[in-house]
Each structure stands twice: as structure tokens, then as C-alpha cells.
Amino acid sequence: MRTTLDLPKDLIDEAMKATHINTKTRVIITALEDLIRKYKISELKGFKGKVDLNIDMDAIRGRQCRY
């Protein structure tokens, strides 16, 4: 999809230098993917302590408990 954006040149240049990405398009795509990934991780953090998993990893892996 083609879109016209008015972005600060120094910000794009700094992002390209920091990530060693050679194209503006790839820098913007990478930034958007990273933003989405961080947002999803922050949503998952909301479940911390709310999911009770009673899983016996030794049984799942077929191990015998030595103790």
C-alpha cells in the first residue's frame, strides 16, 4: 500500500543507522512490527498471576523424579 508520510529526516536517518537497514521502507516496516510485538507483550503481562497452570513437566517429558 502506498502512503505519503511527513517524517523527520533526522529520525529516519538515525533509525537507519542504528538498525543498519538501508531502506526507509524497511525501517518503517521494522518499527511497526516492533511496536505491535511490544504491545502484544504488554497485553500478555496483564495475565501475570491470573493463569493457574497445574502442569507436571516431568510427566509431560516422560521423566522419572529422582527425589
Q: What is the mean pLDDT of the chain?
A: 89
DSSP calls for 18-38: HHT---HHHHHHHHHHHHHHH
17 φ/ψ angles, rounded to the nearest 5 degrees: -70, -45
**How far apart are alpha carbons 59 and 67 in whole angstroms?**
14
Opening angle at CA 39, ends 24 and 32, nearest 5 = 10
Q: Domain segments of the chain: what residues?
A: 9-61
pLDDT value, residue 23: 96
pLDDT value, residue 65: 63
What is the mean predicted confidence (pLDDT) over 36-41? 96
